Amino acid sequence: MPETVAIAADHGGFDLKAVLLHELRALGYDAIDLGTATMDAVDYPDFAAALARAVADGKARQGVLICGTGIGMSIAANRHSGIRAALCHDNTTARLARQHNDANVLVLGGRILGVEAAKDCLRTFLATDFEGGRHARRVAKLS
Ligand code: RB5
């Protein structure tokens, strides 16, 4: 059964969301698109909340959030219980977000990152396992 990944964006991340939704499906994931559905201006906390709920409830194993910078989405997502959202900008931050932080939400800046860098982040984030060990103790202290 394919793994489920939820994705959501505000208007600042709308274009990149379309690209990454396509990429997720091409990679064989069952992708849930939680909006936004148009370029009309919306409030990023609403979309972060919807995605956080999907991940925390187990409807999606992981999530991807995109706003203009990624900053608003990461602040908003990390206010939700059970969410470890990591704002990443390259392969290294995406890899370490998984290996060290067990991040369950990848956050990207749609107006900051190029499309290829964003796809790299997505692929790396999804393909990398948590290392556990000393990192598990630290992650446990987050909650
Ligand atoms: C929207 O204009 C912009 O503020 C938003 O996408 C995001 O960058 C906030 O952090």
- pLDDT tens for each residue of 102-141: 999 999 999 999 999 999 999 999 999 999 999 999 999 9
Cis amide linkage into residue 4, ω under 30° from 0? no
Indicate which residue's Cα is closest to atom 4 of ligand 1: 68
| pTM recorded for the entire structure | 0.98
Residue 12 alpha carbon, nearest atom of ligand 1? 6
Q: Are 77 and 65 in contact (CB under 8 A)?
A: yes
Coil, helix or strand at residue 67? strand
- pLDDT tens for each residue of 53-83: 999 999 999 999 999 999 999 999 999 999 9
Residue 111 alpha carbon, nearest atom of ligand 1? 8
6 residue type, one letter: A
- Catalytic, out of 11, 67, 89, 135: 67
Closest by CA position to 108, among listed 121, 96, 98: 121
- Does pLDDT of 1 surpass 90? no
100 is catalytic: yes
Q: Which domains does the chain have, with CATH numbers?
A: 4-140 (3.40.1400.10)
- pLDDT tens for each residue of 31-46: 999 999 999 999 999 9
CA-to-CA distance for 129 and 141, rounded, in angstroms? 19
Indicate which residue's Cα is closest to atom 5 of ligand 1: 68
Closest by CA position to 31, among listed 114, 97, 126, 115: 126
CA-to-CA distance for 53 and 60, rounded, in angstroms? 9
- Catalytic, out of 11, 80, 89, 100: 100
